[in-house]
Amino acid sequence: MVDIEQVKQWAVSRWTLGEMHGVSHWERVERNGLLLVTPECDVTVIRLFAYLHDSCRENDMCDIHHGPRAAKMIVGLRTSLLKDLTDHQFKLLQEACRLHTSTHRTGNPTIDACFDADRLDLGRVNFIPDPEKMATEKGKEMARLL
């Protein structure tokens, strides 16, 4: 079983930017993700996404390539921190990281839950997510409550 706490500590240990995209954001993304889970979702992938998706940001501004960078970076964790993922889980995690900076919705329940978990935390940068722009039904419901 993948040790999420260990992945979190690893991500925290190499993080050099501030809190805007840092650990408090990652924790909220994990919490949102847990609220968005449906029976079709892979909860391990969603929790890992929370701690890895922004980990390759080079600045807090418009760094649109940090998603694809994270997808590449996690290849280096495949035989260590992420060794217990199945190939399918690893692929989902990679796709969620790679696409979160560019894609609205994929149709895959796990990846879409990752996107919405991240979007639901836009309030931290004074941006209220538009329910119509969420990728999942649960995400839409939760955005309406914000």
The stretch near Fe ion (CB under 5 A) out of 34-42, 73-81, 84-92, 115-123 is 115-123
The stretch near Fe ion (CB under 5 A) out of 39-47, 69-77, 82-90, 117-125 is 117-125
CA distance linking residue 34 with residue 143, whole number of Å = 15
By CB under 5 A, tell whether 30 contacts Fe ion.
no
By CB under 5 A, tell whether 116 contacts Fe ion.
no
By CB under 5 A, tell whether 112 contacts Fe ion.
no
- Of positions 54, 95, 112, 116, contacts Fe ion by CB under 5 A: 54
3-state secondary structure of 21: coil
To which residue do tokens 């994270």 refer?
70
Q: 29-51 burial string, b = 16+ CB within 10 Å, else e?
A: bbebbeebbeeebbebbbbbbbb
Q: Which residues contact Fe ion by CB under 5 A?
A: 54, 118
